[in-house]
Amino acid sequence: MGIDVALLNEHLDRIERIPDQRWMETLDERKRKELEFHDMYRDAKQKVDKQQDSDTFEKLYGNEKYYNTTRLSTEYVDQWIKRNAPGKVFLDYACGDGMYAIAAAKAGAKYAVGIDISKISVDNATGYAAKAGVSERCRFVQADAENTQLPNDCVDVVLCSGMLHHLDLSYAFPELRRIMAPGAVLLAVEALDYNPAIKLYRKLTPAMRTEWEAAHILSLKDVKFGKRFFELGEIRYWHLTSPMAANFPGLLPLCNGIDRALSHVPGIKLMAWIFTFEFWKKKDAVSATGS
C-alpha cells in the first residue's frame, strides 16, 4: 500500500502552523543554543560579512576546507541515495540546506522531506529546491529532530549527515524508530571520536561547534546503543589521510588510495575522521504510539 503522503503533508502543515513563540517555548536551553548556532552558520549574508574579517571567518568556517577532501564518502552517499530513494518517501533528518533531500527528489523519490531546527536552513533548502525544479516533490519544515511531530511509520529512507552528535540519542533513536516504516533504512554519516589529532583540533577550535556537539562526537558505543532500536547494517570508515590534502589538493588522489587500504585494517581504521553506518527497522516491527 505504501506510505500516505497526503497524511504526511497534513502533519507537516500542522507543524508549520505552530506559532514562533510556542515553538521556542518547546525548546530547552541546549536546543535553543543549537538553533542560534545553526541560524548563524547558515546565514549566507552573515557569512559574507564575516569574510571581511579573515580571523573571524577562519575561527568559524576554517574547517570547511577539509570537507573538500571528502570525495570518497561523498560519492558513496550519492550512490546510496540513488539506490535507495527511487519510489520511496525520503527524510533528510536535520537537513541543513537540504542538499540530500533535493538529491533524493532528483533520483526519483516519491516524496522528499527535510526537517531542521534552524529556520534559516529551512528557508535556504526551500529556495534551493525551487531552483532545482523539485519543489513539487520536496518539502522542508522547521522541527525538533528529537520530537518531530510526524506520524508513525511515515518514511522509508532516512539520511542523517553530520547531525546525530547535535542530538540526545536517547530521544533521537526512539523517535527515528517511531517515524520509520517497517523495513525502512537509515544511513548515518558522522565524525568518529577516536583520532587524537582530530580530537585536539576540535579542542583548539571551539567557535566552530556548540559545547554539546563538541562533547558528543560519536563512537562505536553510540552505534551499539542504536542496536537497541534497529538492526545494524554496514559500517564503513573514511578519510584517515585525505584531510592532509586540504592545504595540498594535489595529494588527494594519493591520500584516497591510501585510505582505501587503511579503512579495512582493524584498529587503524578507527583513526578515520568520518564513518558511516546503516540502521534498519525490522519489517515486522511495531512503532510505539506517537504523534
**Average pLDDT, integer, range 91-114:** 97
186-227 pLDDT tens trace:
999 999 999 999 999 999 888 888 889 999 999 999 999 999
Nearest to 112, CA basis, from 96, 100, 97, 127: 100
Nearest to 115, CA basis, from 229, 36, 35: 35
* Separation in Å, CA 118 to CA 36, 40, 98, 286: 8, 9, 12, 31
Does residue 132 contact residue 106 with C-beta atoms inside 8 Å? yes
Q: Which three cell numbers stand for residue 158?
A: 532516512
Residues above pLDDT 90, as percent of the chain: 80
Position 147 pLDDT exceeds 80: yes
**Average pLDDT, integer, range 33-42:** 87
In the three-class reduction of DSSP (H, G, I as helix; E, B as strand; rest coil), residue 73 is classed as: helix
Position 1 pLDDT exceeds 90: no
The topology (CATH level 3) of 5-280 is Rossmann fold (3.40.50)
231-244 pLDDT tens trace:
999 999 999 999 99
Q: State the Cα–Cα distance between residues 216 and 171, nearest whole angstrom.
A: 14
Rounded to two decimals, what is the model's pTM?
Answer: 0.92
Provide the Cα torsion 56, 58, 63, 65; round to 10°: 140
In the three-class reduction of DSSP (H, G, I as helix; E, B as strand; rest coil), residue 290 is classed as: coil
DSSP state of 159: E
Q: State the Cα–Cα distance between residues 111 and 44, nearest whole angstrom.
A: 27
The sign one gets for the Cα dihedral 203, 206, 211, 212 is: negative
Does residue 125 contact residue 140 with C-beta atoms inside 8 Å? yes
Question: Per DSSP, what are the bridge partners of residue 155?
Answer: 180
Nearest to 199, CA basis, from 220, 171, 218: 218
Q: State the Cα–Cα distance between residues 231 and 275, nearest whole angstrom.
A: 17
Q: What is the DSSP string of 233-244?
A: EEEEEE-SSGGG
Position 140 pLDDT exceeds 60: yes
User: Where in the chain are the domains?
Assistant: 5-280
For residue 191, count other CB atoms closer than 10 A to its CB. 19
H-only helix segments in 168-278: 169-179, 196-204, 211-215, 220-226, 252-262
